[in-house]
Amino acid sequence: MCSPQIIEAVRGEVSRRRALGLAGAAVAAGFASRLPGAAAQTATPVAAGGGGATIALGSYTQVQDLTHTITPETPVFPGYPQPEFETVRNFDEHGFYAQMLSYVEHTGTHMDAPAHFVEGLAFANELPVAQFLAPLAVIDISERAASDPDAQVMPDDVLAWESEHGALPAGVFVAMNSGWAARIDDPEAFINMGDDDALHFPGFHPDATALLVEERDVVGIGVDTLSLDYGAATSFDTHVILLGAGKYGLEGLAALDAVPAAGGLVIVGGPKFQNASGGPSRVMALY
What string of DSSP letters covers 103-136? --SS-SSEEE-GGGTSTTS--GGGS-GGGGEEEE
Among residues 282, 287, 263, 256, the alpha carbon closest in space to that of 62 is found at 287
Instruction: Give the strand pairing for 218-222 and 172-177.
Output: parallel
Task: Give me the mean pLDDT over the 144-160 stretch.
Answer: 98
- Counting residues of the chain whose pLDDT is more than 90, the rounded percentage is 79
Mean pLDDT of 25-48: 41
CATH superfamily assigned to domain 14-286:
Putative cyclase (3.50.30.50)
8 Å CB contact between 136 and 187: no
Please give the pLDDT value at position 45.
56
Cβ-proximal residues to 33 (8 Å cutoff; 6+ apart), any chain: none
Catalytic residue among 68, 106, 110, 116: 116
What residues pair up with 67 in beta bridges, in sequence order?
Answer: 253
52 near 86, Cβ under 8 Å?
A: no
How does pLDDT run across 194-240, given as a tens digit for each residue? 999 999 999 999 999 999 999 999 999 999 999 999 999 999 999 99
Give the β-pairing of 133-140 and 152-153: unpaired
d(CA 122, CA 219): 14
Residues in CB range of 94: below 8 A, 6 or more apart: none
Nearest Cα neighbor of 107 from 140, 138, 81, 144 is 81
**CA-CA distances (angstroms) from residue 6 to 2, 13, 116, 172?**
9, 19, 15, 20
| pLDDT class of 59 with cuts at 50, 70, 90 | confident
The pTM is what?
0.83
- Among the ranges given (4-18, 146-160, 262-276), the one the predictor scored with the smallest mean pLDDT: 4-18
Q: Which helix (H) or strand (E) holds 206?
A: helix 206-215
pLDDT surpasses 80 at 6: no
Q: Is the pLDDT of residue 9 over 70?
A: no
CA atoms within 13 A on the CB side of 117: 27
CB 261, CB 137: distance < 8 Å: yes
Q: Please state, rounded to an integer, the average pLDDT across all residues of the chain.
A: 86
Residues sharing a CB contact under 8 Å with residue 178, sequence separation 6 or more, in sequence order: 141, 142, 145, 151, 201, 202, 223, 224, 225
Identify residue 22 by its one-letter amino acid code: L
Does the active-site annotation cover 94? Answer: no
